[in-house]
A and B are shown apart, each in its own frame.
Chain A
Amino acid sequence: MNRFLNNPHVELTVRWLIGMLFVYASFHKIAAPSGFAKIIYGYGLFPNISVNLIAIIVPFIELTAGTALITGVYPKSAALIINGLTVSFILAISANLIRGHEFDCGCFSGKSATPEPAWLTLLRDIGILGMGVFVYRYPRFRYFCLLQTETFSRISHSDQEAAVTASKGELLP
């Protein structure tokens, strides 16, 4: 398991996956901030004065952090931001699930799809958080990064493995 979690290819795949997910998720919110603002209002958790500001800023945090994860600019910081956002989503959804607050604005006219159930969103967000925490905690050199601030010996994964095997070999009688 450790070997799997330390594999830089796994890190790259997971990092790109959540990066793309957040970039994708930000698009329709950026295209229609008024609709997103209404969803935030619908949560009934935020003061009226902050609703629009959240709707303006949050999609761009998603976009920037997502892009940073894909391109590998401050990947650890981007993962921290993504995790922060995901924790906030989880808290907001849980709060509404617990108090049984459902917001039906009656906006879904015609053939618009009904929204997915909250527990499914919650489950998905917990999965995303797991992946985010993995990317954040990944201790080694990351592949395909434009700007990685952590200092590592810049040797490849296979070299690291070889070094470990070699050192173990030396200890053997």
Chain B
Amino acid sequence: MKTNNTLKGVSILSGIAIFLSFFVNYVSPAGIALIGQWDESQGAIRAKTKAEKVFDESEIKDVNIGKAVFDRQIAVFIDARSVEDYKDGHIKGAVSLPVGEFDMKIDEFLNKYPPDRPIVTYCSGRTCDDSHRLAEMLTAMGYLHVSIMIDGYPEWQKEGFPIE
């Protein structure tokens, strides 16, 4: 009898939890898709929140295309990693703008680059989403052409493309 009561409690509490979880996930703006994108061969891994759906089209999935953009010398490359990582090595000519220091550095950035300047963000590859968050923040600031090079610095370096 005692065990039955305990199991009954477990089912009731779990039931409430499961119901609440799906309900809150459905209504919350921070909610995520029921199945995320966790396959690295398909692109940058992420849970797929409601807000970032739009970024699918902004991804540069091939580092060679990133290089082609780089060669045209129109876009500015932005390093979303920490300042230390940036100092250790970055794509040639890239500007450092870590997500954690965005508020501090954005004013200077806005003065330097007009909103129609094409931007390519990158971080440490497909398991890192700083470049996505940075792209989101820059778009919110009014930048019109923001792309994300999802393979990031490691692949760029591996291909032997220009670094400094």
Contact = CB atoms under 8 A, between A and B. Distances in A.
A106 B47 contact: no
Interface string A68-111: 10000110111011000000000000000000000001111111
Interface string B25-61: 1000011111110110000011111000000000000
Nearest to A68: B13
Contacts of B129: 38, 105, 107
A34 interface: yes
Interface string A39-58: 00100000011011101110
B36 A48 contact: yes
Most buried by B among A33, A59, A68, A112: A33
Contact of A78 (B5, B13, B128): B13
A64 interface: yes
Given A77-B10, A81-B10, A149-B9, A106 B123 contact: yes
B45 to A, nearest CB: 6
SS of A interface (majority)? helix
B98 A110 contact: yes
A107 B80 CA distance: 10
Contacts of B25: 33, 56
Nearest to B12: A74
Contact of A149 (B5, B18, B127): B5
A30 interface: yes
B82 interface: yes
B21 A34 contact: no
Contacts of A106: 81, 85, 123-125, 127-128, 130
Contacts of A107: 128-130
A49 B35 contact: yes
A53 B18 CA distance: 10
Interface of B: 2, 5-10, 12-14, 16-18, 20-22, 24-25, 30-36, 38-39, 45-49, 80-83, 85, 98-101, 123-125, 127-130
24 contacts: A37-B47, A41-B36, A41-B45, A49-B35, A53-B34, A55-B32, A57-B22, A60-B21, A61-B21, A63-B20, A64-B13, A64-B14, A64-B17, A65-B17, A68-B13, A74-B8, A74-B9, A74-B10, A76-B9, A80-B10, A81-B14, A107-B130, A110-B100, A150-B5
Interface of A: 30-34, 37-38, 41, 48-49, 51-53, 55-57, 59-61, 63-65, 68, 73-74, 76-78, 80-81, 105-112, 149-150
